[in-house]
Chains A and B, each alone.
Chain A
């Protein structure tokens, strides 16, 4: 069985976001790019399944919509243990376009399931996985927190209010994964980094896809106002401020 893992190339989560062109374009100057954390957890689980002698998973392929600048991120996925990679050569402009472009390549591929992170940590759209399943006309399970493969049989678990739901599912399908899919992402080993350069990274042309969204502008949250310190003995002032200034009492 082959598993595809969709990778998002996103700014490091500690990035101080800045915008240009009248706050309409994200300023990528000095930004460190990483694998979207949910996708990285999915990749880790996919590799664990491949290593599990009881599962039929034989190959893990990562697939990304991105320009050449996304290749270091893809190489990291190969260093962690993916067998090969496909880069669809386009800017990942919005969820609809990304899902359509992924579907256009995946429709011709043979796989057991495709894993997508539930959201990406840049725009947090949470839409690609669902749209992808629609484009491919395949079932999908969202908020997947565990995947088990025994032979050819696949079951997924979801964390639900007050418990856990376990579903047996026929392949192929789309797994939209959540935290818990694996404990922590893997750090690539030196040999992995060296071998990653020898693994196939296939670049394919992107299909023509219309954009359904247009970023008008971004807004940063207001900076936090300075903290007011009150003498612990002065309860009266505290109440006064909470009532009249913060207006929460």
Chain B
């Protein structure tokens, strides 16, 4: 990756930087190797997965495991594994590209199986396993000779995972831990050979264990009947005096939380990439249908209401793409600077990823909601045909519903976004308080970017949006202090404002970069204009709701005047409807999502 792509070392800085001031990493900067891997995975998914979807949906263990083994032969399960253990040890961007390109297979079920195998099913051992554990498990997980699973959730602890009740007590001879408890919703659980499972040692030391399937006292429950991803395995697990060898403790006693949470950030980014690929595929199947379906003597694609829907799907997907690879670029750049041979490399890598927890949660939230939006809109465009299983979109609709729930519910992730901004502000990790002090001078100034510059209108709107969001954030902190975390409605609202700014900043910067290197592109320009205009309206709406909550419905005149000032700066002056027509017509000409 180009070293000059970004010098951001921590998350959240986008809120302080001027739009486009720093170059960002985007898919347009993929290396040739990245492009070849993307194509290879697309080929595999189209030829090997999409062709047998109906069989995968029957929850055929042998079939899914065979596909995993084929992926293992191609090296697609060992991207994150060190070379010493037969792995490829490639950058995180490669993992993300693979996750996105898997969507060509149209199988949420198999993507789920693969995602656990290469993510939470193996990464805890890659990151925290000792040499002996790595030697024993990683080559077999990389070839899919063994299937991996991750057991954190319990009947009474989902989002509050650390409060797990499963216990682990060291046997008198010190050779075993005796585990008792129950785990639930364990993906790959029915098929797995190896489980990373969490339990409380001596009642309070939250600890990770590697559990082999044939462990005495370890029972695997029946398959759950799910709404979607029906072809994947999801079971509960029971531990009745399960005898786990003491050498199967993963990491340190009491170090379970670090292991549990480290897997989450990369998991959120990978989920974001999967749903990005899914959104593009949904656009593809929907435009294919809309172009073929004729009503009232014309293709329905050319009805104005349908054009708007296709444009909305395209604009959202483009924005999602922009934030995923921007985030990945920043993380990979920080990881590249670490000493890869240092004994604490994976710990440092985990810390590096945690610096971008805000952006990772944003990718998860916006990604899962974008695929949710695209499938819902896609079904609407399909009309009655969208509601029957003969078309792929009905299955995708069911499959993606879980994306808003797992890897941290979107509610939890929104609290993480605002919570980390609070933490970074209070600890001065990023100088937000300095910027907040500038709000008054900003409000008395003219627009900062001259109108002759590319996307000057959008730049100025995003800058105003950043100040408006900081203004609401500051008012919220002044009113609630650290108790803001208990006002979850305001927390969610602020998270959405931060998210909108990251999206618009990334979208406009990406479009600008593409235009600067390849020349004018009216459709990309339209995407930047539409996203920014709609963002501005959302910010104005949210700020009014938020401030009314802070002031209990009695907004002082001074606040109303400030809002009026922001309103003038954020008032969109673009014909969004006309731009959406142009975007849709361009997409139709390409017969697929074109970026």
Instruction: Give the interface size class of chain A.
Output: 10 to 19
**Contact A187 to B36, CB < 8 A, known contacts A16-B591, A194-B88:** no
Contact yes or no, A30 B590, CB < 8 A:
yes
Q: Find the A residue at minimum CB distance from B44.
A: A187
State how many angstroms separate the Cβ of B40 from the closest Cβ of chain A. 5
Contact yes or no, A190 B74, CB < 8 A:
yes
**Which of chain A's residues 218-244 have a Cβ closer than 8 Å to chain B?**
226
What CA separation (Å) do A55 and B39 show in the bound complex? 32
What CA separation (Å) do A30 and B593 show in the bound complex? 12
Contact yes or no, B43 A193, CB < 8 A:
no
Contact yes or no, A75 B32, CB < 8 A:
yes
**Which of chain B's residues 70-119 have a Cβ closer than 8 Å to chain A?**
73-76, 78-79, 88, 90
| Chain B CB within 10 Å, residue with most, of A16, A30, A188 | A188
Contact yes or no, A79 B36, CB < 8 A:
yes
Task: Report B-chain residues with C-beta under 8 Å of the C-beta of A197.
Answer: 32-33
Task: Report A-chain residues with C-beta under 8 Å of the C-beta of B35.
Answer: 72
Contact yes or no, B88 A193, CB < 8 A:
no
What CA separation (Å) do A42 and B312 show in the bound complex? 45
Q: Find the A residue at minimum CB distance from B94.
A: A190
- Is B47 located at the chain interface by the 8 A CB criterion? yes
State how many angstroms separate the Cβ of A198 from the closest Cβ of chain B. 12
What CA separation (Å) do A30 and B595 show in the bound complex? 10
State how many angstroms separate the Cβ of A13 from the closest Cβ of chain B. 12
Task: Report B-chain residues with C-beta under 8 Å of the C-beta of A194.
Answer: 33, 88
Contact yes or no, B590 A193, CB < 8 A:
no
- Is A167 located at the chain interface by the 8 A CB criterion? no
Contact yes or no, A193 B37, CB < 8 A:
yes
Contact yes or no, B43 A187, CB < 8 A:
yes
Contact yes or no, A190 B47, CB < 8 A:
no
Contact yes or no, A190 B32, CB < 8 A:
no
| Chain B CB within 10 Å, residue with most, of A72, A187, A188, A226 | A187
Chain B, residues 577-595, CB within 8 Å of chain A (1/0): the string is 0000000000000110010
**Contact A193 to B591, CB < 8 A, known contacts A187-B40, A187-B43, A188-B40:** no
What CA separation (Å) do A76 and B47 show in the bound complex? 17
Q: Find the B residue at minimum CB distance from A32.
A: B39
Chain B, residues 18-61, CB within 8 Å of chain A (1/0): the string is 00000000000000110111011001100100000000000000
State how many angstroms separate the Cβ of B524 from the closest Cβ of chain A. 14
**Contact A187 to B74, CB < 8 A, known contacts A193-B36, A193-B37:** yes
Contact yes or no, A190 B75, CB < 8 A:
yes
Contact yes or no, A190 B88, CB < 8 A:
yes
Task: Report B-chain residues with C-beta under 8 Å of the C-beta of A193.
Answer: 33, 36-37, 40
Chain A, residues 170-187, CB within 8 Å of chain B (1/0): the string is 000000000000001001
Instruction: Give the interface size class of chain B.
Output: 20 to 34
- Is A215 located at the chain interface by the 8 A CB criterion? no
Q: Find the A residue at minimum CB distance from B73.
A: A189
What CA separation (Å) do A106 and B514 show in the bound complex? 43
**Which of chain A's residues 149-205 have a Cβ closer than 8 Å to chain B?**
184, 187-191, 193-194, 196-197
Task: Report B-chain residues with C-beta under 8 Å of the C-beta of A187.
Answer: 40, 43-44, 47, 74
Residue from the list A16, A188, A191 in contact with B36, Cβ < 8 A: A188
Q: Find the B residue at minimum CB distance from A16.
A: B591
Task: Report A-chain residues with C-beta under 8 Å of the C-beta of B591.
Answer: 16
What CA separation (Å) do A76 and B36 show in the bound complex? 8
What CA separation (Å) do A30 and B594 show in the bound complex? 9
Task: Report A-chain residues with C-beta under 8 Å of the C-beta of B37.
Answer: 190, 193
What CA separation (Å) do A197 and B75 show in the bound complex? 17
Contact yes or no, B88 A191, CB < 8 A:
yes
Q: Find the A residue at minimum CB distance from B34.
A: A193
Task: Report A-chain residues with C-beta under 8 Å of the C-beta of B594.
Answer: 30
What CA separation (Å) do A29 and B535 show in the bound complex? 33
**Which of chain A's residues 66-110 have a Cβ closer than 8 Å to chain B?**
72, 75-76, 79
State how many angstroms separate the Cβ of B73 from the closest Cβ of chain A. 7
What CA separation (Å) do A16 and B594 show in the bound complex? 14
Task: Report A-chain residues with C-beta under 8 Å of the C-beta of B73.
Answer: 189
What CA separation (Å) do A184 and B590 show in the bound complex? 29
What CA separation (Å) do A188 and B43 show in the bound complex? 10
What CA separation (Å) do A190 and B80 show in the bound complex? 12
What CA separation (Å) do A193 and B32 show in the bound complex? 10
Contact yes or no, A72 B32, CB < 8 A:
yes
- What would be 5 A-B contacts, judged by CB atoms less than 8 Å apart? A75-B36, A76-B36, A190-B88, A191-B88, A196-B36
Task: Give the B-binding residues of A (Cβ under 8 A).
Answer: 16, 30, 72, 75-76, 79, 184, 187-191, 193-194, 196-197, 226
Task: Give the A-binding residues of B (Cβ under 8 A).
Answer: 32-33, 35-37, 39-40, 43-44, 47, 73-76, 78-79, 88, 90, 294, 590-591, 594
Contacts A187-B43, A187-B47, A190-B90 aside, 15 further interface pairs with beta carbons under 8 A come to A72-B36, A75-B32, A75-B36, A184-B47, A187-B74, A188-B36, A188-B40, A188-B74, A190-B74, A190-B79, A190-B88, A193-B36, A193-B40, A194-B33, A194-B88
The 5 closest A-B pairs by CB, nearest first: A190-B75, A189-B74, A193-B36, A189-B75, A187-B44
